[in-house]
Amino acid sequence: MLPGAFSALPADAQAHLLAAGRTGRWSRGELLFHPEDPAETLYLLTSGVVRLYRLGASAREVTLDVHGPGALLGVPALLSGQRYDMYAESMDDTEALCIGQELLHRASQTSPAIAVALTEQVTRQMRGVHERLSGLVFLEVSQRLALALLTLAEREGDWSPSGTLALRDRVSHQDLAHMVGSTRETITKLLGDFRNRGLLDLGYRRIILTDRGGLQRATQEPMR
């Protein structure tokens, strides 16, 4: 079954979409596409995490968004004659359904439900961009970090009866910095503060969340 908005598609529509694409696989650190690449393929992320970024002044990487399963990458491919205009970097072992522009158009004509799902997913992602921008403006880094940890937790499933949840994905301090728009040094300090407050425990690229309520409260007020 396809993830995200595409999971609600009828079986025949999902079959059309799967038949139109091919599976692509990338390891951590590999690029799915570059800014100058012609936008001829749409990527439906089925597993893993991908970071979209551009290069700013002094070749500084500016993270635009971080996406998980169900997300559409390379949205400019929905229009003709576009370029991706950004980098897409795999932050973990990643798989995506890669659908060429022409085949996507045919599949959407064959099954109008596919076009509806595409619109719904793009709308979700646009809302996510707006929320991210609002967070960068109105929330402190500690609040954004707590939100990011809770978002990662949602992908893992249910919390244990003891009230803990271990994040299975490899998440480095730099990964979290990209997600919340901060620096690795700031994130390292804040994770230490979170641990001292009993909100989580840390291991090598492993984070165990230990206080869901505390993290939820941390999203409401900056850490002092």
Structure confidence at residue 56 as a pLDDT band (50, 70, 90):
confident
Assess whether pLDDT exceeds 80 at residue 211.
Answer: yes
Can you give the pLDDT at residue 128? Answer: 84
Can you give the pLDDT at residue 59? Answer: 79
pTM for the full model?
A: 0.82
Beta strand 200-203 pairing with 41-47: unpaired
Average pLDDT over residues 10-36: 94
Residues of the chain above pLDDT 70, percent: 99
Instruction: For residue 70, give the DSSP letter.
Output: T
Closest CA to 103 of 44, 23, 42, 33: 42
Tokens 């993290």 correspond to what residue?
Answer: 215
Mean pLDDT for all residues in the chain: 91
Q: Which of 92-101, 145-154, 193-202 has the lowest mean pLDDT?
A: 145-154
Assess whether pLDDT exceeds 80 at residue 156.
Answer: no
Assess whether pLDDT exceeds 70 at residue 169.
Answer: no
Handedness of CA 10, 88, 47, 131 (dihedral sign): negative
Beta strand 94-100 pairing with 21-26: antiparallel
Tokens at residue 121, please? 């997913």
Measured between alpha carbons, how far is residue 219 from residues 61, 82, 151, 215 in Å? 26, 38, 12, 7
d(CA 178, CA 51): 8
d(CA 20, CA 71): 17
Average pLDDT over residues 37-48: 96
Q: What is the pLDDT of residues 67-115, one digit of tens each?
A: 989 999 999 999 999 999 999 999 989 999 999 999 999 998 888 999 9
Structure confidence at residue 204 as a pLDDT band (50, 70, 90):
confident
